[in-house]
Structure 1
């Protein structure tokens, strides 16, 4: 194979002020067993029309494995048309000196003299935003760009919608990575805002974090007919204009769907639109009047219970029988630092402060108790960290 991608029809979309990126991005957090595994996955990404690679120092040996893979492929003359676009990250809160050292080490591991995109990895709390806009983070990003080491800066976030909106409106960033999912569209307005401001928008794990759609329940499969849940989820995001969707592949076959959809940036078909209506209707039918509409009106909770996030899991468990996914997410609560919620439904003391706020008069304390009974199980380990 020469330096041209083997999927010549693969589309590219603008990504902030940097090089255009493929509709799918290879996330490197799953190909960590050996450097050979990383090589096989990266080569498969070329075949799938992918030109954008997402990595981070926090992903264990990912950067070192990726750098070795890129060197091997370069020697073979294998690369996407126009070359690779690489995004890496830095955790918030580091000092200017430590951040400078980390960036240089990152570039050495990757074998590059310049990083296309550098993101703050987990802009999740107010102190992170302060660090990025006024503290050492601001100085670090300015230094990286003025030294010509980084093309553009951005952020990923698992934080509140309000915090993310503040970051987007700050003018400090040119791209963002957000949790945008078919089964949880509450952050889509933030993506629209970012796109309107000319920022690149990357959807974080729309398959796994979006409901483990690579292994859907029989109920969800039936609800999305005649389309596969994962394909429908990808098309939902791509048709909305999201710049690129991340795929955490562990083997070449994980990229088959991305290869099939590499040019699939057109509007939804009538069949896809009908499937989305059917999906939502069936969830509503199963949940009835107990469905949480995710309006956030119940917040803040005096005991810091993240009511909408927990009732969203209930919606998915009872609405589409996503038992494994919902149990996994629920039992990470309090065990993932600032990356996920800190309190589960057992923290509800039935103070009833939420009840008059709910526009649908949901019996929220009862629903929280049911959620805890449905989903509480022995904890599972996070993918990384």
Structure 2
């Protein structure tokens, strides 16, 4: 295992963290075996949330049986914005379910809207600062599915020790947030590189071929680990065997995080140019806002991936979440486009956006789905 300094927390954190969202969907014995295997392999960070069903209670039971002392683990949970008078009680509930008397880290779960950030700064943080003084909480951070502007605003307040961030090879919109976090000496935890990063545990054949000598998932891990501003990646695994790809990504950092990695990246970029040509969305976000509430760049990103890399299944998975997950995944499906033309003069690529939106809807639309932990 490799360990990195988690920003100004000064914690030495394993570069892979064990997320618990999916553990609630498997038999308890399987969840137990997965946690035991992860800890035995050197993972020292376990991450959960009140919103993940009974994940806290499940982990609370498993933690009692581990041969590793509590103080050798970094334990994180997350709390959603809520009335100030309920926050302390909510924190106590997490401690009770996890069967611990302190948390190494506590994150505000889902600073996705400006009003969430204002609540945290004005109401949430004072409560947690008091909890820090009482020894209940070590370090305070936040997770986000929000806009880049909002993420940068939250980071630049200087109020947080770490950030849980979406950033992957196939979605690099939040790159500047990495640098902003580094300037604040914040810990950086990357959310869901296997699932939100492209459903890479079940990759299409075309993507497997281009990513050689790595699997697509190993490539995704290596891409992230090659960036020293990133400290740890979430593993949303449900069985011990799934650790093998993570361990493979730690081998040969000289070659596998350097020249070979760059060669794979170049091939992926060439594939996009070959299959998309002048219809490729460059993800500049100049087309927003859309009067109808369509998240045009995200719709067209999914089109890019489906056509260039045969990632249609992933595209359908994400596209059909539009309109179903509120501020966690904002936007509506592309068939809401009225062809008003508002976006056209703002696109530096001169894309025929209404036509591409219509094509993407036909390609990816299926029955709507909900987020896993709902």
TM-score bucket of the superposed structures, by smaller chain: over 0.9
> 2-side partners of 1:270 and 1:39: how far apart?
38
Deviations 1:124-158 (A, max 9, x none): 01110110112x21222222212221111101100
Deviations 1:313-367 (A, max 9, x none): 0001111111111101000111112110231111211111111111111000100
Give the structure 1 partner of residue 15 of structure 2: 23
Give the structure 1 partner of residue 278 of structure 2: 289
**TM-score for the superposition, normalised by structure 2:** 0.95
Indicate if the aligned counterparts of 1:179 and 1:203 stay in contact, CA closer than 8 A.
Answer: yes
> 2-side partners of 1:122 and 1:327: how far apart?
23
Give the structure 2 partner of residue 349 of structure 1: 338
Match of 1:258, SS state, is helix
Match of 1:183, SS state, is coil
Deviations 1:79-106 (A, max 9, x none): 69x61101101001x1222110111110
Match of 1:246, SS state, is strand
Counterpart of 1:248 (choices 216, 236, 241) is: 236
Give the structure 1 partner of residue 172 of structure 2: 185
Q: Which runs of 5+ in 1 are unaligned?
A: 1-9
Match of 1:185, SS state, is coil
Range 287-296 or range 45-54, more displaced: 45-54
Structure 1 residue 38 displacement after superposition? 2.2
The question of 1:236 aligning with 2:229 is answered no
What aligned pairs does 1:64-75 form with structure 2 within 5 A after superposition?
Answer: 64-73=57-66
Structure 1 residue 36 displacement after superposition? 2.0
**TM-score for the superposition, normalised by structure 1:** 0.93
Q: Which runs of 5+ in 2 are unaligned?
A: none
> 1-side partners of 2:252 and 2:129: how far apart?
36
Counterpart of 1:104 (choices 92, 109, 130) is: 92
> 1-side partners of 2:29 and 2:195: how far apart?
24
Give the structure 1 partner of residue 149 of structure 2: 162
> 1-side partners of 2:31 and 2:245: how far apart?
19
> 2-side partners of 1:46 and 1:265: how far apart?
22
Match of 1:245, SS state, is strand
> 2-side partners of 1:300 and 1:370: how far apart?
20
Structure 1 residue 235 displacement after superposition? 0.7
The question of 1:152 aligning with 2:139 is answered yes
Give the structure 1 partner of residue 182 of structure 2: 195
Deviations 1:139-182 (A, max 9, x none): 22222212221111101100000000000000110100111111
Could you say if the C-alpha distance between residues 37 and 79 of structure 1 is closer, same or farther in structure 2, counting changes exceeding 3 Å?
A: farther
> 1-side partners of 2:69 and 2:23: how far apart?
19
Give the structure 1 partner of residue 356 of structure 2: 367
Match of 2:198, SS state, is coil
Indicate if the aligned counterparts of 2:142 and 2:164 stay in contact, CA closer than 8 A.
Answer: yes
Indicate if the aligned counterparts of 1:35 and 1:69 stay in contact, CA closer than 8 A.
Answer: no
Superposed CA RMSD: 1.6
Structure 1 residue 263 displacement after superposition? 6.7
Structure 1 residue 230 displacement after superposition? 0.8
Match of 2:174, SS state, is helix
What aligned pairs does 1:218-367 form with structure 2 within 5 A after superposition?
Answer: 218-241=205-228, 242-262=230-250, 268-367=257-356
Indicate if the aligned counterparts of 2:7 and 2:161 stay in contact, CA closer than 8 A.
Answer: yes
Give the structure 2 partner of residue 7 of structure 1: none
| Count of aligned positions | 370
Match of 1:137, SS state, is helix
